[in-house]
Structure 1
């Protein structure tokens, strides 16, 4: 492995495989999978979400599909056509706009909502989908871990049931790919690519949400989801059972279980990300100097996966569901898309990489020098969090207000804390997600298909990926330049911050020494020490000095303690 500073230089080309290039339309002719998608009609739920946008871009760029129907609901006074225009304004689609803008004519928004009966489709739209769709990607779900059970059931479970009901009406359907999560069985330390027993019969839970009021459901939710930590993992596990019960033997389907999905590894652009969830909050928080403490358990093996890995796997899984070129080891075709089994990364390793990358690829205008430490004690972590994060954020916003600048420190601090709190359960526990089906599917592909739809995490270089992720956070989240000139300016600013940081540390150390060594401090400490001695002494010290007081002590028995 090359020295870390050397690997950081150069462009975004893959250092894991020198021969790898991001697939282009010119390489489609060599791919059997791309050819299989020719003139296919695809139906996609969740197309405006993080994974959905990447899937749309990949299908347009690498698969000569005929149409992509996107289930969309009007939002914030925008109709579905406006929403799709807004979605295409993301930089994710810039290369397609520049090279093949005509591809966007393949996108067809369909008004609907997975929380409504019949997906909220009009009769005309339902008829069109039933007659034309050949591939379904069901990505839509709520990923809010604290979602009320009624909402989680409606979106994750009933939404899946409604998609399956529509799929049964599709006369040309060849494959349905359902996106679940690797953590749907997180109460087990080790899981395989198989369907585990349902924690409750899905129909009974649906009935509970229909019968009970919100306050009753809220009270019984902890007992319902236990031993799972939240409604998300609970309902996603049950959604798998709904799919299998309703679709098995009727609809060709596959289940994809990604772990924590993060910024892009290789495509459409390395580091691409559009939200502050998952480890994006860690990078932004550390880079801005806001996050200065991290609560960890030593030796924990983390599991998060770049977004382009499950997207490529989904596209290949749909093809394999239809062609059956590769047979999974279980009756239910499940693919666990994770990294910990093939390319493990410990929490200590991640902490070192994060601290390294935010200094080598610094962010512009940090609130303070990015420094801090990982702690294994929850109390110390909490104290440090409020002293070194929350309080300074309020102070920073106070000065921003005086200077007439935008007050962002407190908002960023709490956004970062929210993102980290959502991850805490998953960062403090160790899982082993076996992925033999994924590895077997990868082994079955031709070289051209591997090049076009790369999902082998065995090639992943964590150090380089975290660097790309940091660049992506700068470019797409913080809207900062990643040019050499901009990085040089950021480094100079970072050096100034370092000097201020060291001066402040020295000043605090001097103040602490002065307070401890002053006469007043010595007197106070002596008094405190004497008082503590009195509290922990059975008899007052002054009585012990008066020999006459010994007569007041209770007499010892004539015989020894042993004899008695």
Structure 2
């Protein structure tokens, strides 16, 4: 049975819907399976109710394609007030009763202990696909259960490397929140790591596809079979490849920070560049803005980028030995139609990938006013440095 046929009109429980992968996953299953229904577990937060948060997701640019194809797709999503960190997911008895027809669970983010425990209460469950962090493990990372206790459920564990901007869907390079990989690709700051190591990064849309395909494969087998484990694929290039491609597009899609683009394993050099080339100019720029009564914004942007790049450090600072045979076999099990709709191992043009990510981050993550401020201040700063150097040369080489 093909993946399209197997999912059909099933009812799916989705967790982590507000995460990077969860948002992409929700859009993909609604757009691809027009009869499918989704129960999304999330909590009210930041003054938004659970329903408001779902509506906010549907109003985002990434859902434009779905809105055009199926304007009423949101009617197939039922938001449930809950928390995956609570026993029973913090769901009410009434909400639990609505989940009796759920046959697939897609757990897209966060710890999975309580989620897997709760899955044992679902009478019609056929498959659970749970996202996990690849970098929890050390040494050779095989595609087997590694010191993990799992309950008796039809489980597929998908271990992900770092999640990057999407490759193709819902639109090439789409990204709404600046995170480590995007900050590196657009040259927003200097990173710490080994640039010649393979970039342990997977586009968010391929991550979502892998969860969907893993659930399908597990659902075809007996419920009593052992859990399936998949170490998700990467984009097949080094960190330096991403940096070098970013150089090409930085002038057209500049990020509003003072930065020296690149990556190093030299801790002293890393600190020096951050302090003198990134942080100090940002402070001076904000000070000047403050003197003129304008809003200070560049230091905040610098901090945002540094926090994003910090998430890369433990991963990019060393090579990883990862077995990926299962995910390659899973790709081959898909029908030609399903392989086209749900690619798991993609032949990615790195140049196009970085270009699209840079363009998307410029459109959705950047304040244009900040870009203008950084450009003007950079010109002024370079002019002052040139004048100072010229003056010093005149003093030392005065005829």
Establish whether TM, by shorter chain, passes 0.5: yes
Are 1:195 and 2:97 an aligned pair?
A: no
What is the distance in 1 between the residues matched to 2:396 and 2:206? Answer: 56
Uncovered stretches (5+) of structure 2, i.e. residues with no partner: none
> Which of the numbers 228, 250, 257 marks the counterpart of 2:159?
257
- Structure 1 Cα separation of the partners of residues 241 and 395 of structure 2: 38
Q: For structure 1, which runs of at least 5 residues remain unmatched after alignment?
A: 1-30, 142-155, 199-240, 481-489, 519-564
Cα drift, residue 505 of structure 1:
5.5
Matches within 5 A, 1:48-67: 48-67=18-37
In the alignment, is the contact (CA less than 8 A) between 1:257 and 1:335 conserved in 2?
Answer: yes
What's the counterpart of residue 242 of structure 1? 149
Check if 1:464 corresponds to 2:344. no
Match of 1:406 in 2: 295
Closer, same or farther: CA 165–380 of 1 in aligned 2, 3 Å = closer
CA RMSD of the aligned region, Å? 2.8
* SS across alignment from 2:168: coil
Tell me how far 1:432 sits from its aligned partner. Answer: 2.5
Q: Deviations over 1:151-184 (max 9, x none)?
A: xxxxx2xxx2322222112121110001002212
1:306 aligns with 2:203: yes
Cα distance in structure 1, aligned partners of 2:270 and 2:388: 20
Q: Are 2:66 and 1:96 equivalent residues in the alignment?
A: yes
- Could you tell me whether the CA contact under 8 Å between 1:37 and 1:65 is conserved in 2? no
| Distance apart, 1:308 and its partner CA | 0.4
TM-score normalized by the length of structure 2: 0.90
How far, CA to CA, are the matches of 2:263 and 2:121 in structure 1?
54
* Structure 1 counterpart of 2:242: 350
How far 1:503 moved relative to its partner? 4.5
Contact 2:196 2:240 in 1 (8 A): yes
Q: Does 1:510 align with 2:390?
A: yes
* C-alpha distance 374-67 of structure 1, shift in aligned 2 (>3 A): closer
Identify the range of structure 1 (374-383 vs 502-511) with the bigger mean alpha-carbon deviation.
Answer: 502-511
- Match for 2:13 among 43, 66, 69? 43
Instruction: Return the match for 1:118 from 73, 88, 95.
Output: 88
Q: CA deviation at 1:262?
A: 0.9
- In structure 2, distance between residues paired with 1:373 and 1:114: 38
1:84 corresponds to which of 54, 62, 79: 54
Which of 120, 124, 134 is the aligned partner of 1:182?
A: 134
C-alpha contact 2:24 2:208 (8 A) present in aligned 1 = yes
Distance 1:429 1:517 in 2: 48
SS state at 1:460 partner: coil
| 8 Å Cα contact 1:308-1:455 kept in structure 2 | no
1:319 corresponds to which of 216, 226, 231: 216
SS of the equivalent of 2:13 reads strand
The secondary structure found in structure 1 opposite 2:88 is helix
* Cα distance between partner residues in 1 of 2:21 and 2:334: 23
List per-residue Cα deviations over 1:202-225 (Å, max 9, x = no partner).
Answer: xxxxxxxxxxxxxxxxxxxxxxxx
* Aligned pairs for 1:336-375 within 5 A: 336-339=231-234, 343=236, 345-359=237-251, 361-363=252-254, 366=256, 371-372=260-261, 374-375=263-264
Residue aligned with 1:279, SS: helix
Structure with bigger helix share is 1
CA contact (8 A) 2:265 2:317 kept: no
Structure 1, residues 30-76: CA drift from partner, whole Å, max 9, x if none? x9312221110000111121111111100000113431000111112
Q: In structure 2, what is the equivalent of residue 22 of structure 1?
A: none
Pair 121,515 (structure 1): closer, same or farther in 2 beyond 3 Å: farther
SS in 1 for 2:311: helix
Determine if contact 1:45/1:138 at 8 Å carries over to the other structure: yes
Counterpart secondary structure, 2:270: helix
CA drift of 1:498 comes to 8.5
Residue number in structure 2 paired with 1:222: none
> Higher relative contact order at CA 8 Å, sep ≥6: structure 1 or structure 2?
2
With over 3 angstroms needed to count, the CA separation of the structure-2 counterparts of 1:430 and 1:500, relative to structure 1, is: same
CA distance in 2, matches of 1:416, 1:397: 16
- Write the distance in 2 (CA, Å) between the matches of 1:96 and 1:191: 37
1:283 and 1:473 in contact (8 A); partners too: no
Q: Shift in Å at residue 508 of structure 1?
A: 5.2
Structure showing greater Rg:
1
Instruction: Tell me how far 1:316 sits from its aligned partner.
Output: 1.1
Q: Deviations 1:491-545 (Å, cap 9, x if unpaired)?
A: 9x97x89876764564454356467668xxxxxxxxxxxxxxxxxxxxxxxxxxx
Q: Is 1:451 the counterpart of 2:340 in the alignment?
A: yes
Q: TM-score, normalised by structure 1?
A: 0.65
CA contact 1:41–1:65 (8 Å) conserved in 2: no
Distance 1:105 1:417, change over 3 A: same
What is the distance in 1 between the residues matched to 2:131 and 2:84?
A: 14
